[in-house]
Structure 1
Amino acid sequence: MGLALAAGLTAAQPVAAQPAMRLGTQTFVERVSTDINGRPRRTLASADRVGPGDTLIVIVHWRNASTQPVRDFAVTRAVPPRTRPDLNDPHMQVSVDGGGHWGRLDQFWLPTPLGGMRRAVVEDVTHIRWQLPEAVPPGRTGRISYRAVMR
């Protein structure tokens, strides 16, 4: 009877579903040098060693790993520590409260230590996201990239 009860409890527990969308992130540092003709040449290098003022290129890869289309999905990422993201992408939304509220940066106000309010600035951004505009078929992949400057 103990075995039957244990088997019944195991069967009654829901199976953990695999996440439909798989996300991966790669980060590179953009290096600018001058070629033999005096023109700037941009290359991407490993972001193992970066310092203040370095420009990072962050690439977020996404894939629908399920067998069903995924609708209303937003690719969301925390902003890496000590970076200032480039917010020029009109499709990018930001959060200044850890993902609680989303919008454009100019829509946010934050409290000041003396009880006042101030406009949020790019250094306040904690998360960024892009809403995928349509249903993502099974197996579909894509990528989104943005720049960020090390502080």
Structure 2
Amino acid sequence: MALAASLTATQPAVAQPAMRLGTQTFVERVSTDINGRPRRTLASAERVGPGDTLIVIVHWRNDGAQPVRDFAVTRAVPPGILPDISDPHMQVSVDGGGHWGRLDQLWLPTPLGGVRRAVAEDVTHIRWRLPEAVQPGRAGRLSYRAVMR
């Protein structure tokens, strides 16, 4: 239950107080219809287990009176989930939001003083840069898939 609460909690926008962000998380269930084809449905993420596929939807809205420029929708990746980072517009961080890029551009220090290439399990945050100014009242959403570890 605590995991479900952390996945759906609203996190405030950091740099632009006019921007409101919210998150919804669902579990994707796959069943077979009468014709033998897979049927995908979304269910509440109240109970999730290892291997479950999650659909995370991030809603954003400019509640201010002025356009917001150069805004990045940023979300922490909750512990225990592995995000699908295949979206080419998504940037990731493996150090709590200190550095951003595509996963193949990021490195982490090793205990013996070296470095290693970051892997998907290292992702701590994800973000998308909104390509244009967000006018007052404008809203949108972004989504990604993740798998419970």
Corresponding residue of 2:79: 81
Deviating more after overlay: 105-114 vs 28-37? 105-114
Among 129, 136, 139, the alignment partner of 2:137 is 139
Q: Which has the larger radius of gyration?
A: 1
What secondary structure, in the 3-state scheme, does the structure 2 residue paired with 1:106 have?
helix
Distance of 1:115 and 1:57 partners within structure 2:
37
- The residue type paired with residue 128 of structure 2 is W
- Please, what is the CA RMSD of the aligned residues? 1.0
Q: Structure 1: how far apart are the matches of 2:96 and 2:107?
A: 14
The structure 2 residue matched to 1:71, chosen from 54, 69, 74, is 69
Q: Where has structure 1 moved over 6 Å in runs of 4 or more?
A: none
* Structure 1 length-normalised TM: 0.87
CA-to-partner distance for each residue in 1:117-146, whole Å, 9 max, x for gaps? 211000000000000000000000000000
Q: Identical aligned pairs, as a percentage?
A: 88
Give ranges in structure 2 of 5+ residues lacking alignment.
1-15
2:18 paired residue number: 20
Normalising to structure 2: TM-score of the pair? 0.88
Cα shift readout 1:9-43 (whole Å, capped 9, x = no counterpart): xxxxxxxxx92100000000000000010000000
**133-142 or 108-117, which deviates more:** 108-117
Number of residues of Structure 1 aligned to a counterpart in Structure 2: 134
Alignment equivalent of 2:43, drawn from 45, 58, 61: 45
Displacement of 1:116 in angstroms is: 2.2
Between the aligned partners of 1:19 and 1:113, the Cα distance in structure 2 is 39
> Aligned equivalents of 1:114 and 1:142: distance in 2?
45
How far apart are residue 81 of structure 1 and its match?
1.2
Deviations 1:88-117 (A, max 9, x none): 100000000000110000011111122222
